[in-house]
Chain A
Amino acid sequence: MKKLLNAPSDIVVESLRGLGLAHPELRVDLNHRIVYRSDAPVPGKVALISGGGSGHEPLHGGFVGPGMLDAAVAGEVFTSPVPDQIVEATKNVDSGAGVVHIVKNYTGDVMNFEMAAEIAAAETGVEVVAVVTDDDVAVQDSLYTAGRRGVGVTVLAEKIAGAAADAGRDLNGVADIVRKVNENGRSMGVALTSCTVPAAGKPTFDLPGTDMEIGIGIHGEPGRRRVPLAPAKEIAEMLVEPILADLDFTGGDGVIAFVNGLGASPLLELYLMYGEVAAVLEKAGVRVARSLVGPYITSLDMAGCSLTLLKVDDELVRLWDAPVRTPGLRWGV
């Protein structure tokens, strides 16, 4: 393992310390491992919190700021944060308008956020609405699994719901927007190499030199199938096809097409992939209204990418275009 670190056990706290130093507009509580926008709680505004295991940066800490999250709670690498942290963040961002928790659908995250919401309600009376994202079409049989995993749509939901909260929507209104994004978004990923969890020191799974894993999860969970590495043109089809098979994205106001890097694939390749994806979408009659390309929900140092399509209407496009000022996403300001 070759990584930029001191001790593997300190990687999360030391990375958060650096994030705080690089972005003085954020306030970082290293003890609880929480990243806050420094002006939280924002009077009258519904607050948005997300969190989860570390290792997916810039998700979630890099999405804290005006127009997006009020706080992000960081767990150990690939391990859910614990309820104490989530309760602490919830108390500190609530202005009285309530708090929305955006939770990716993993067993540990869902349980820890549930317990946190119960404790926060019992201890402080903060009103919390949790919305779970589950957009990964690689998990086919949701009835016999923990359900689809929350992946790329989470980034889009945090941005769009952040804009809705800024626009003054109430607690249920903001939660509804998260649900709307989740219901209209689907994702599919591909890994070219495994990631290496710092504490483990060796690759999470074994992927032979010339193979790729189609349908990979962001923690290295197994995908749908393992096939020989193919040209980008073919990989684009392998990503688009199962998404379009799951939900009709044609017609209407089009989609936000999000090509996400999993950590080790450079923008040179990600833009190339976007070009291929755009071509496949055009052939399929899917109109791209907006796009996002880059490493936004990563899996440590995994090579590969994921594709997320979000069906949009006027409302979602308007919220997407609204100003945002975070370390990870920044426009209109």
Chain B
Amino acid sequence: MSEIVDVSTLKSWLIRFAGDVEEHAAELTELDSAIGDADHGSNLARGMKAVITALVDDEAPDSIGPILKQSGMTLVSTVGGASGPLYGTLFLRMAASAGDCDALGPQSLAQAFRAGLDGVAARGKATAGEKTLLDALIPAVDTLESALAEGTPFDDAIRAAADAAEAGRDATIPMLATKGRASYLGERSVGHQDPGATSLALLFRAAANTMIDGEDGK
């Protein structure tokens, strides 16, 4: 199979995600104000802006693992709260899985996402169904892996993963939060979409939009 994520695609993905977060920052913060502390949009937007600034620096790394690692470290040190360690861990574990290479094929991309997912679950001591970003991340990674295992072309597989992330995001609405700040609300958390799952769905949609040749928009 061909290499589908080279350095330029990886950068495009991160830039795309940063732009999407910026565009949806008010919406993410609004969702967070209902069940959290009303800062998810602004914090993640600030962090991704710092990621992009670091990305275009003259000293910036130019291979896959190191770019992911730098991005993860930047998120950890700029986002704060719970999102910083969670998104940071996602990228740091992806970096370790990807290694110092010039491009990733579909399988190694899926492996990197799986490593990231495992890291996030361990960091947050959370599982599926607790109304967290895992509720978007788990179905996305599961879908990507199983689609590739069935021989689905990469373009269709990553699009299905983005769809699964969005379905997972929507599925958080009726959930009762049992992790994080939203859990203090108990039953009052039901009926609200999780902000972390919402931003995570943006991450996968940005991946689909940049990793599929010629795909743009949606």
Query: Given contacts A75-B80, A82-B78, are A222 and B184 in contact (CB under 8 A)?
Result: yes
Chain B residues whose C-beta falls within 8 Å of the C-beta of A106 in the assembled complex: 181
Q: How many residues of A contact B (CB 8 A)?
A: 27
By a CB distance below 8 angstroms, the chain A residues around B185 are 222
With contacts A219-B37, A221-B184 taken as known, whether A115 is within 8 angstroms of B178 at the C-beta atoms is no
Chain A residues within an 8 Å CB radius of B178: 144-145
Say yes or no for A139: interface residue by CB 8 A criterion: yes
Contacts of B184 in A (CB 8 A): 139, 145-146, 149, 217, 221-222
Min distance, Cβ A148 to any Cβ of chain B, angstroms? 10
Give Cα A114 to B186, complex, Å.
26
B148: min CB distance to chain A, Å: 31
- Known A106-B181, A111-B124, A144-B178: A200·B38 in contact at CB below 8 Å: yes
Which residues of chain B are near A146, meaning CB under 8 Å? 179-181, 183-184
Q: In the bound complex, what is the Cα–Cα distance between A301 and B39 (angstroms)?
A: 20
Interface residues of B in 3-45 (CB under 8 A from A): 37-39, 43
Taking a contact as CB atoms under 8 Å apart, the answer to whether A115 and B85 are in contact is: yes
Q: Which chain B residues border A141 with CB–CB below 8 Å?
A: 186
Tell me the A112-165 residues at the B interface (CB within 8 Å): 112, 114-115, 139, 141, 144-146, 149
Residue A38 interfacial (CB < 8 Å): no
| B186 contact set on A, CB distance < 8 A | 141, 144-145
CA distance A200 to B30 in the complex (A): 12
What CA separation (Å) do A112 and B82 show in the bound complex? 8
Question: Within residues 47 to 106 of chain A, which ones have a CB less than 8 A from any CB in chain B?
Answer: 75-76, 78-84, 106
Contact A82 B76, beta carbon cutoff 8 Å: yes
B81 proximal to A (CB < 8 A): yes
Contact of A221 among B76, B80, B85, B181 (CB under 8 A): B181
Name the one of B81, B85, B176, B179 contacting A79, with C-beta atoms under 8 angstroms. Answer: B81
Asked whether B86 lies within 8 Å of A82 as measured between CB atoms, the reply is: no
Cα-based distance from A177 to B81 in the complex (angstroms): 27
Asked whether A112 lies within 8 Å of B84 as measured between CB atoms, the reply is yes
> What total of chain B residues lie within 8 Å of the partner, measured CB to CB?
28
A contact residues around B152 at 8 Å (CB): none
Residues 29 to 87 of chain B near chain A (Cβ within 8 Å)? 37-39, 43, 76-82, 84-86
Asked if B123 and A82 sit within 8 Å, CB to CB, the answer is no
The CB with the most chain B CB atoms within 10 A, among A76, A146, A219, A222, is that of: A146
Cβ of A107 within 8 Å of any chain B Cβ, yes or no, is yes
Q: Is the CB of B181 within 8 A of A107?
A: yes
Q: CB distance A107 to B82 under 8 Å?
A: yes
> Smallest CB–CB gap between B180 and chain A, Å?
5
Q: Which of B43, B123, B183 contacts A111 (CB 8 A)?
A: B123
Q: Is A108 an interface residue (CB 8 A)?
A: yes
Q: Within residues 75 to 130 of chain B, which ones have a CB less than 8 A from any CB in chain A? A: 76-82, 84-86, 88-89, 123-124
Q: Which of A81, A111, A149, A222 contacts B82 (CB 8 A)?
A: A111
| Chain B positions within 8 Å of A80 at CB level | 80-82, 84
Chain A residue at minimum C-beta to C-beta distance from B38:
A200
Residue of A nearest to B123 (CB): A111
CB neighbours (8 Å) of B89 from chain A are 115
Known: A82-B77, A144-B178, A146-B180. A222 touches B86 (CB 8 A): no
Q: Which of B38, B79, B179 meets A107, CB within 8 Å?
A: B179
Chain B interface (Cβ within 8 Å of chain A)? 37-39, 43, 76-82, 84-86, 88-89, 123-124, 176, 178-181, 183-186, 188
Known: A84-B76, A144-B183. 8 other contacts (CB 8 A): A80-B81, A80-B82, A81-B80, A82-B84, A111-B82, A111-B123, A115-B88, A146-B179
Ordered by A's residue number, 20 sampled pairs between the chains whose C-beta atoms are within 8 Å are A75-B80, A79-B80, A80-B80, A80-B81, A82-B76, A83-B76, A84-B76, A108-B81, A108-B82, A108-B84, A108-B85, A111-B84, A111-B124, A112-B80, A115-B76, A115-B89, A145-B183, A146-B180, A146-B181, A219-B37
